[in-house]
Chain A
Amino acid sequence: MTTTSLAALPGDGDRDAQLAAIGVSVEQLTEARGRAQHDVDECTSLDPPGSRGSVRRMRSVRYLREGLIPHGWTPDDTGNVGAVVSPDGTVAIIATSGDAGTGLLSHKPKTKYPKGEVTQLRVRQNIQLSLFEDLTEEPLDASEPARRTWFLLQHPAGDVVRAELSYPVGSDGAGRINEWSERIILPELQLDTYETWIDDDDEGDHQVDVPVTPR
């Protein structure tokens, strides 16, 4: 099925309103991403390959939960998919790694890795809710209200981490989620990495500014 007709891609202007409709703010998302990135920067070359991406994903989930739980959200690890669910149970967010198209409106991103059955079910539920406002497919838990699942996609590119909060409605043959009915592009996060300093001869990158102002 084609899904691009389900919703127009948004511009930057209505980002805050779209996020408010989901029940989160750009600040909450940025804080969680920033804290996760801080942990990513703790990785050294002695961490195994792929650590940085894993740490970014795992810690984004944790810090997002830490930020949202005070607002009534709850963690949900059903099917080993680390989600955080809104107070009324109708919205869930999961964090995952995106490909190079992440955060670029001109591109169509897909998840970096194929997703498992539980995530695929969430995506099918998303499609049904988009089309019919009701579920024909059984939810995982009968007591669970109709839930829309959003993906926090992140992708490091050069010296920034691009990100978007997007509503998945389809996957490719390999199981990578690649169709989106709504995409909310998030601010880029500046990378401040261990990897970069080692070849960095001048001190420009981490230059400290000491504010001194006349009284």
Chain B
Amino acid sequence: MINPTRLELARRRRGWTKTKLAQQVDVSTKSITNYESGDQQPTDATLARIADELGFPESFFAEPDVEAIIETAASFRSLASMTASQRHQALGAGTLAMLIDEWIEQHFTRPAPTIPIVDTHDPEQAAEIVRVEWDLGHRPIPNMVHLLERQGVRVFSLDEQGREVDAFSFWRNARPYVLLNTTKSAEHSRFDAAHELGHIVLHRTGERGREAEHQANQFASGFLMPRASVLAAGLQHATLTTLIQRKAEWKVSVVALIYRLHAVGVLTDWQYRSLCIAASKKGYRTNEPKSVQRETSQVLEKVLDYLRTQGIHRREIAKSVHLTIDDFDRLVFGLVLLAQEGGNQGPSTSRGRDHLRLIER
């Protein structure tokens, strides 16, 4: 028996159309449509072929229905520039992350979500309220991923070829989820994490679009670089070199710091423009100078560490959730310093692996 919801999920996760899947497994497009509507069951041989082509264990298709994350439920920063296929792949990753998360939930207790209800549409104010609620003062955030996890947000990695996707977030079963593209710079990822927190806090009821994205950016800027700390930093006449030295205090990109200094009025319009131009010339918009260390997930690390002491390794966990080790790794890899488990460190097809390997212990 094939579960139609799982077939559709697996196909979309790969970014394939029904036609492409039909061609790959040598059946008609109509048959795929029928499998996905539940009107028809594939033969055992066809099912095996589908599983093989899509790269999912056959057992994945026999599991209960999954309610896939739909487009309107998730926030994408650059929705317009994404193809349907890229959106489906990203959302598919979100749905698979949720399956892994449910498995973890069955076996571990973690902090429950504590997302403040914010009664304002002003992102700056909302960021301050969240800081007060979470007792953060106006200190810099040492680790955004740990903070989110401590407050009950479920964080997974998005190791996507589609680098158009920075991150996205969604609510499911009263729990907020964030998927972070871990192939970006550490500063970029931190900003993404704070940006998604902005969506979680400000757009709980599903506001989307350009204005929502702008608000999430302002939230992230205010949350990572509180007005009081930026004003007190003495950066009135800072040079680009000074800003590169000082940005580590907030662990933000130099461009984000320049933007923030201007927004709070520390930099004049003229200073702002010249610093932006200087930063662009040096290529700092795409290549972060003096980048800090990447953030990792404490939850995933603790879960994997504990299971390892029980003799349970990634491969067995992947099997329990009916995923290949490749799919499993892609959702946790960027957020965990993987210990050597003898041999296979995941597929070589995924990009971003080489620089990630540098931080493996």
Contacts and interface: CB of A to CB of B under 8 A. Distances in A.
A208 to B, nearest CB: 4
Interface residues of A, number: 23
Interface residues of B, number: 29
A21 interface: no
Contact of B107 (A198, A201, A214): A214
B270 interface: no
B337 to A, nearest CB: 15
Nearest to B292: A203
Interface string A167-211: 000000000000000000000000010100110010101111111
B106 to A, nearest CB: 7
Contact of A42 (B138, B147, B249): B138
B249 to A, nearest CB: 7
A212 B138 contact: no
Q: Interface on chain A toward B: helix, strand, loop, or mixed SS?
A: loop
Interface stretch (B9-17, B21-29, B72-80, B224-232): B224-232
B110 A207 contact: no
Nearest to B302: A212
Nearest to B142: A203
B299 interface: yes
Contacts of B232: 44-46
Contacts of A214: 107-108, 306
A194 B109 CA distance: 33
Contacts, number: 72
A55 to B, nearest CB: 13
Contacts of B108: 212-215
Contacts of B166: none
Interface in B193-245: 228-229, 231-232, 234
Interface string A30-44: 000000001001101
Nearest to B300: A212
B239 to A, nearest CB: 19
B294 interface: no
Contacts of B146: 207-208, 210
Given A38-B135, A197-B139, A197-B140, A44 B228 contact: yes
A128 to B, nearest CB: 45
Contacts of A194: 137-139, 229
Interface of B: 106-111, 135, 137-140, 142-143, 146-147, 149-150, 228-229, 231-232, 234, 248-249, 298-299, 302-303, 306
Given A212-B299, A212-B302, 11 more contacts: A38-B137, A44-B231, A194-B229, A197-B139, A201-B248, A208-B146, A212-B108, A212-B298, A212-B303, A215-B106, A215-B107
Interface of A: 38, 41-42, 44-46, 192, 194, 197-198, 201, 203, 205-215
26 contacts: A41-B139, A42-B138, A42-B228, A45-B234, A194-B138, A197-B139, A198-B249, A201-B248, A203-B143, A206-B142, A207-B142, A208-B143, A208-B146, A208-B147, A209-B150, A210-B149, A210-B150, A211-B110, A212-B108, A212-B306, A213-B108, A214-B107, A214-B306, A215-B106, A215-B107, A215-B109
Q: Which 9 A-B pairs have the closest CB atoms?
A: A203-B142, A44-B232, A212-B302, A208-B146, A210-B298, A210-B149, A45-B232, A208-B150, A41-B137
